[in-house]
Amino acid sequence: MVNTPRKRLVIGNWKMHGDTAFNSELLAGLRTGIQSVAQCDVAVCVPFPYLYQVRSLLEGSGVTWGGQDVSEHEKGAYTGEVAAAMLADFNCRWVLVGHSERRGYHGESDATVAAKAAAALAAGLTPVVCVGETLQEQEAGQTHAIIERQLAPVLALGADAVSRTVIAYEPVWAIGTGRTATPEQAQEVHALIRGRLDAAGTPQVRILYGGSVKASNAASLFAMADIDGALVGGAALVASEFLSIAAA
């Protein structure tokens, strides 16, 4: 098994924020500041209508981009959905799949999430597969079982597919709440995921942590053995804050 170090990755998830004027300013800030962040891959996942703008303003900057969701279908009569090939057409490199806000508000099942990951891979995108337990599940001591259940259909896609993904652990109770998992709490779940990835023969897959990551707590999270970067929500909307996380 090769054990070359995994390159750090920090992805900003803009969620449903931004407009063309706001984005222009944020992207200009990222373009300028990215020069000082060499050791880390940096990306933004933006609302679909802004992909054209984001591509125009980030091309050649070193910052890559992606979508926040994708259809599990290749094409066809699926009103309102966006195909992986459409994202690839805008030179997206990444797409989030199975974010807890998709699982929670749109009823996406583990199987649907895996199908979306497969659709993304087929179009040459890197799916960032999000997993994480709710507060209720955490309090019931079900964290490991939930993560295993969410991961299973993704791992079933096979080593070749899994090796081309990124996994993001986002405990739902830490998203947008200001309540970050402690580095030790996050590491414990990352170690579980790492074990599954090793067993699947894909030790190089990066595992990101997400949930109230800020410049002030990023370094302590990144010091953990199995945390390879972050999926950042709120703090990704401020260029200096987001870049400080990447610099950490």
Residues designated catalytic: 99, 170
- What does DSSP assign to residue 61? S
Q: How far is the CB of 19 from ligand 13P (least distance, A)?
A: 19
Q: Which is nearer to ligand 13P, 183 or 233 (CB)?
A: 233
Contacts of 198 (CB under 8 A, 6+ apart): 1
27 closest CA partner among 55, 68, 66, 67: 55
Neighbours of 227 (CB within 10 A): 24
Nearest to ligand 13P of 123, 131 (CB atom): 131
Nearer Cβ to ligand 13P (69/200): 69
Please identify the residue of the shown chain whose CB is closest to the bound ligand 13P. Answer: 233
What's the min distance (Å) between Cβ of 175 and ligand 13P? 4
User: Are 157 and 117 within 8 A, CB to CB?
Assistant: yes
Query: Cα-Cα-Cα-Cα dihedral of 142, 147, 152, 155, to 10°?
Result: -160
Q: Which residues pair with residue 66 across a beta bridge?
A: 45, 94
Say if strands 63-67 and 206-210 run parallel, antiparallel, or are unpaired: unpaired
Taking the complex as a whole, how short is the minimal distance between the CB of residue 211 and ligand 13P, in angstroms? 5
Q: Which is nearer to ligand 13P, 183 or 210 (CB)?
A: 210
Tell me which residues touch ligand 13P (CB under 6 A): 13, 99, 170, 175-176, 210-213, 231-235
Task: Identify the residue whose tokens are 């969620």.
Answer: 15
